[in-house]
Chain A
């Protein structure tokens, strides 16, 4: 193995944000924002250059640190998966950077303000850590990268310094630490069994033996805890809902993708032949539970930011549906194919759509002074661009054509059909309907005319609105992007024919019905009584169902339960890997 042309770019992709962070940290004050802006442009350039270098040959870009090849040295590698993720992260960071200029500008007259200084330096730190996750070719380097990511992400939760957000940050860091210890334990066991941690060498050496299975179970569960896959999601809703909007966009759109990506690396590159059908199905079951519970609980939220946070809980579930779909029963191994491409596309489109959604929610909060969904009447008139952004991001999340999520869903559905696993297809359909339900619910409230003329409480930056809209459009038009060669060449072309339109309408209509059944506070109907009276018992039943979901979710987010869930999940994966 040797360093390939363009290999040095991988080092730059990691170093540029980290050097930027160090300079910003040293110079401090107003300079932090300027340096962050410059670094974002440079970093985007580097990501594009890496993509170009990779597209030229189509082979993995490799850089050997110090010229030592593994197992003596450490290699940085970027395959198609990492290239696509790096590019997507760079674009989303750019959008967030433009958006945050309004929220995190150092106020005039002071040399330095805490929140802007911390935000801009940590934004760069998160980016550097994410790029390191994407290019590392070694399980221990990946551990360090993951910890860097967590350390940079946690303070973003409590930027405003309120006790409530500090508590959320503390919950996040404690649970994430236990998760990373589980992962490290797995790394130690792998080293003990095989004497190397290099992904390429391990892939050739691993076989199913007790130490490998235990390590795989511990590492997987540790990563799931850091990704907040249901039922290990106790830290996510308060942390993502409490952070300032730009920080929420980073946390929800990007940070959770780091540990998810590592899980993908682990299963597809290190252990493809060790994982069993049962373990892949178990991962899919957790994903399906996340989709169902996350979406229903999202529908029952009274506050917009919590709704968006629970929607993230649900969307994380989608990211794990590809594991059972990629399992090739004939070869008894995970195959890189359409399912992996679909899952990656899902991750990218969620990154941009969810970032845009949090940004829109933040703008609405800023303009109205609260984010209680039931009192959003008139926002549609006051902030048309932000409501449009929310709607477009919602369409992208639902997976309507031509969004990236639509193409992703199509790829996953094809994989489901090819492998005969129809049940995952129905999970995806139900998830799409429920997503439509909460988007419709919010829009119905936001588009109602205000009872009294609504004054915008605070000025909302035009640039921030455009940035959020641009990200939402990115996600919505991702289906059109012909990203050139593999891994996304299997992408279906978005079709805008009558059938696609009809199914889109059907999803929206089904969503509206579900919203009417499960939604928390419905706007008053003009013809109450005559029409709704016969439906009252149905509504009572659906409300009871929704309340049950909320109770189960609240119980699962208790510390003892979440801790036990971690152990049970580890044992479950161990057993499933034995099966």
Chain B
């Protein structure tokens, strides 16, 4: 129960859970982005644990997950950069950086219905 891969796996599950929680409850886009990165870290830790388990054959570890992990980290980094760029641009254009619609869409009952 207390071997290293299991511990890392549980740690990964905790990170993913925290990240998803943060993503849902934080209204600010930057916090959501950080929460996404926490989820990502959790997934990567899980992959690392799986790579270690695959290394039971006597190697230092399963190399395939490591290669995939690097790619995954690059993709997550690129995603973060893209989102931050959008966020900065939004901060320039609008006075408040929120994800809510500028004027909350009113239900159409108020519209001129006949």
Residue interface bits B97-114, CB-to-A below 8 A is 1, else 0 = 011011001011101111
The answer to whether A185 and B114 touch across the interface, beta carbons within 8 angstroms, is no
The answer to whether A170 and B29 touch across the interface, beta carbons within 8 angstroms, is yes
The answer to whether B99 and A171 touch across the interface, beta carbons within 8 angstroms, is yes
The answer to whether A192 and B102 touch across the interface, beta carbons within 8 angstroms, is no
* Distance between A559 CB and nearest chain B CB, rounded to angstroms: 6
A551 to B104, CA, bound (A): 12
The answer to whether B94 and A167 touch across the interface, beta carbons within 8 angstroms, is yes
* Distance between B27 CB and nearest chain A CB, rounded to angstroms: 7
Residue interface bits A508-524, CB-to-B below 8 A is 1, else 0 = 00000000000011100
State whether A521 and B39 are in contact (beta carbons under 8 Å apart), knowing that A151-B78, A166-B86, A166-B89 are contacts in the complex: no
A489 within 8 Å of B by Cβ? no
Please name all residues of chain A whose beta carbon is closer than 8 Å to the beta carbon of B40 when the two chains form the complex. 181
Please name all residues of chain A whose beta carbon is closer than 8 Å to the beta carbon of B111 when the two chains form the complex. 302, 520-521
Residue interface bits A187-214, CB-to-B below 8 A is 1, else 0 = 0100110010000000000000000000
A174 to B79, CA, bound (A): 9
A162 within 8 Å of B by Cβ? yes
State whether A177 and B83 are in contact (beta carbons under 8 Å apart), knowing that A147-B75, A162-B93, A520-B108 are contacts in the complex: yes
State whether A170 and B16 are in contact (beta carbons under 8 Å apart), knowing that A151-B82, A547-B109, A564-B24 are contacts in the complex: no
A481 within 8 Å of B by Cβ? no
Residue interface bits A169-181, CB-to-B below 8 A is 1, else 0 = 1110110011011
The answer to whether A178 and B23 touch across the interface, beta carbons within 8 angstroms, is yes
In the complex formed, the residue of B with least CB distance to A374 is: B112
* Distance between B85 CB and nearest chain A CB, rounded to angstroms: 9
Query: Considering residues A151, A181, A521, A551, which has the most beta carbons from chain B within 10 angstroms of its beta carbon?
Result: A181
A546 within 8 Å of B by Cβ? yes
B18 within 8 Å of A by Cβ? no
Interface of chain A: mostly helix, strand, loop or mixed: helix
The answer to whether B108 and A547 touch across the interface, beta carbons within 8 angstroms, is yes
A554 within 8 Å of B by Cβ? yes
The answer to whether B83 and A170 touch across the interface, beta carbons within 8 angstroms, is yes
The answer to whether B36 and A181 touch across the interface, beta carbons within 8 angstroms, is yes
A164 within 8 Å of B by Cβ? yes
Please name all residues of chain B whose beta carbon is closer than 8 Å to the beta carbon of A150 when the two chains form the complex. 79
Residue interface bits A143-176, CB-to-B below 8 A is 1, else 0 = 1100100110011001001111011011101100
Please name all residues of chain B whose beta carbon is closer than 8 Å to the beta carbon of A302 when the two chains form the complex. 108, 111
B65 within 8 Å of A by Cβ? yes
The answer to whether B86 and A188 touch across the interface, beta carbons within 8 angstroms, is no
A158 to B114, CA, bound (A): 36
* Distance between B84 CB and nearest chain A CB, rounded to angstroms: 10
**For residues 299 through 320 of chain A, which have their beta carbon under 8 Å from a beta carbon of chain B?**
300, 302
State whether A167 and B90 are in contact (beta carbons under 8 Å apart), knowing that A140-B68, A521-B111 are contacts in the complex: yes
B47 within 8 Å of A by Cβ? yes
The answer to whether B54 and A195 touch across the interface, beta carbons within 8 angstroms, is yes
* Distance between B34 CB and nearest chain A CB, rounded to angstroms: 11
**For residues 7 through 30 of chain B, which have their beta carbon under 8 Å from a beta carbon of chain A?**
16, 20, 23-25, 27, 29
The answer to whether A164 and B83 touch across the interface, beta carbons within 8 angstroms, is no
A29 within 8 Å of B by Cβ? no
Contact of A550 among B27, B90, B93, B107 (CB under 8 A): B107
The answer to whether A173 and B27 touch across the interface, beta carbons within 8 angstroms, is no
**For residues 58 through 100 of chain B, which have their beta carbon under 8 Å from a beta carbon of chain A?**
64-65, 68, 71-72, 75, 78-79, 82-83, 86-87, 89-90, 93-94, 98-99
24 pairs of residues in contact across A and B, judged by CB atoms under 8 Å = A144-B75, A150-B79, A154-B86, A164-B102, A167-B98, A167-B99, A173-B83, A178-B20, A181-B39, A184-B72, A188-B50, A191-B65, A520-B111, A520-B113, A543-B109, A544-B109, A550-B107, A550-B108, A551-B107, A554-B105, A559-B27, A559-B32, A560-B24, A563-B23
A238 within 8 Å of B by Cβ? yes
Q: Lowest 5 A-B CB distances belong to which pairs?
A: A563-B24, A163-B94, A163-B93, A192-B50, A166-B90
Interface of chain B: mostly helix, strand, loop or mixed: helix
A residues apposed to B, CB below 8 Å = 140, 143-144, 147, 150-151, 154-155, 158, 161-164, 166-167, 169-171, 173-174, 177-178, 180-181, 184-185, 188, 191-192, 195, 238, 300, 302, 520-522, 539, 543-544, 546-547, 550-551, 554, 559-560, 563-564, 567
Residue interface bits B30-43, CB-to-A below 8 A is 1, else 0 = 00110010011001
A468 to B67, CA, bound (A): 44
Please name all residues of chain A whose beta carbon is closer than 8 Å to the beta carbon of B79 when the two chains form the complex. 147, 150-151, 173, 177, 180
Please name all residues of chain A whose beta carbon is closer than 8 Å to the beta carbon of B39 when the two chains form the complex. 178, 181
The answer to whether B50 and A191 touch across the interface, beta carbons within 8 angstroms, is yes
The answer to whether B43 and A546 touch across the interface, beta carbons within 8 angstroms, is no
* Distance between B102 CB and nearest chain A CB, rounded to angstroms: 6
A547 to B82, CA, bound (A): 37
Please name all residues of chain A whose beta carbon is closer than 8 Å to the beta carbon of B71 when the two chains form the complex. 140, 144
State whether A163 and B53 are in contact (beta carbons under 8 Å apart), knowing that A158-B86, A170-B90, A300-B108 are contacts in the complex: no
Please name all residues of chain A whose beta carbon is closer than 8 Å to the beta carbon of B87 when the two chains form the complex. 170
* Distance between B26 CB and nearest chain A CB, rounded to angstroms: 9
Contact of B25 among A177, A554, A560 (CB under 8 A): A560
A336 to B82, CA, bound (A): 38
Please name all residues of chain B whose beta carbon is closer than 8 Å to the beta carbon of A154 when the two chains form the complex. 82, 86
A192 to B29, CA, bound (A): 33
* Distance between A65 CB and nearest chain B CB, rounded to angstroms: 14
Please name all residues of chain A whose beta carbon is closer than 8 Å to the beta carbon of B89 when the two chains form the complex. 158, 161, 166
* Distance between A236 CB and nearest chain B CB, rounded to angstroms: 14
Please name all residues of chain B whose beta carbon is closer than 8 Å to the beta carbon of A180 when the two chains form the complex. 79
State whether A559 and B24 are in contact (beta carbons under 8 Å apart), knowing that A178-B36, A302-B111 are contacts in the complex: yes
In the complex formed, the residue of A with least CB distance to B21 is: A563
State whether A522 and B25 are in contact (beta carbons under 8 Å apart), knowing that A151-B78, A173-B86, A547-B109 are contacts in the complex: no
State whether A174 and B33 are in contact (beta carbons under 8 Å apart), knowing that A169-B86, A559-B99, A563-B23 are contacts in the complex: yes
Contact of A188 among B20, B24, B46 (CB under 8 A): B46
The answer to whether B24 and A163 touch across the interface, beta carbons within 8 angstroms, is no
